[in-house]
Amino acid sequence: MCSGTVGWMAVLQRSLFDTGTVAGLRPLDGALERIPLSDGAWLDHLPGWVERSDLLFEELVGTVPWRAEERVMYDRNVAVPRLMASFGDGVPPPHPLLGTARSELAHHYRGVPGGDLATIGLCLYRDGADSVAWHGDTIGRGATEDTLVAIVSLGWHRMLALRPRRGRGRSLRFGVGGGDLLVMGGSCQRTWEHAVPKTGRSVGPRVSVQFRPNGVR
């Protein structure tokens, strides 16, 4: 477990309307907003998909075996500015609600290219200095095939930005957190990029949960 966990959980702001005692999921059917993008890409957006997301957030921050990673950049090792964890196909997820979420997403998107969601990845953005640079999930199937990547954001809201690779189409920015769901589909991983920029604002931690099909990262 990463250091400083208790302090991070203490600063999470909870909604006055969160009155349940367990985390749950709202229905997907009829609730998702479809946002068409350029070049055959699209987004589905559902704010607050996870009910009592603060409870799920606290359990994940406190129990997931978070790891710090380094990458080679400019001929030296640099720390990846976030903590990470991954659970492959067949590996029990760190919380049963994540398994339920994966099943409901796979059922909802059955028959959609890349809708066979199997793996779960998690990132912990500890504060505004943690980030992820512009990229698409194009390692593996995403480089040549339409696929899905579904992201559930827990904890504090951070900006998730999207832009077209070839400059065709409008850029988008979403303030995501608190159980929000964002699904990138169609050609999105090949023709668009997404990022979580650093921010100088005083923000607390955010957990990003990513659901992907096998062979996409």
Per the domain annotation, does 7 fall within a domain? no
Q: What stretches of 52-145 adopt beta strand conformation (E)?
A: 70-73, 76-79, 83-87, 117-125, 132-135
| Cα dihedral 186, 189, 192, 194 in deg (nearest 10) | 120
Per the domain annotation, does 10 fall within a domain? no
Per the domain annotation, does 5 fall within a domain? no
Per the domain annotation, does 16 fall within a domain? no
Q: What stretches of the chain adopt beta strand conformation (E)?
A: 24-25, 33-36, 41-46, 50-51, 70-73, 76-79, 83-87, 117-125, 132-135, 149-155, 158-164, 172-176, 180-186, 192-196, 206-213
Domain range spanning residue 87?
31-213
Query: Higher model confidence: residue 6 or residue 151?
Result: 151
Per the domain annotation, does 46 fall within a domain? yes
Residues 6+ apart with CB under 8 A from 94: 60, 63, 64, 85, 87, 122
When pLDDT is cut at 50, 70 and 90, the band that residue 16 belongs to is very low
Which DSSP category does 124 fall into? E
Per the domain annotation, does 201 fall within a domain? yes
Per the domain annotation, does 80 fall within a domain? yes
Tens of pLDDT, residues 78-107: 888 999 999 999 999 999 999 999 999 999
Residues 6+ apart with CB under 8 A from 126: 2, 4, 8, 82, 83, 205
CATH of the domain at 118: 2.60.120.590
The chain-wide mean pLDDT, for the chain, equals 90
When pLDDT is cut at 50, 70 and 90, the band that residue 20 belongs to is confident
Q: What is the pTM of this model?
A: 0.89
Q: How many domains does the chain have?
A: 1
Per-position b or e across 50-80, b if 16+ CB within 10 A of its CB: bbbbbbbbbbbbeebebeeeeeeeeeeeeeb
What is the reported pLDDT for 73? 61
Per the domain annotation, does 187 fall within a domain? yes
Tens of pLDDT, residues 150-184: 999 999 999 999 999 987 668 899 999 999 999 99
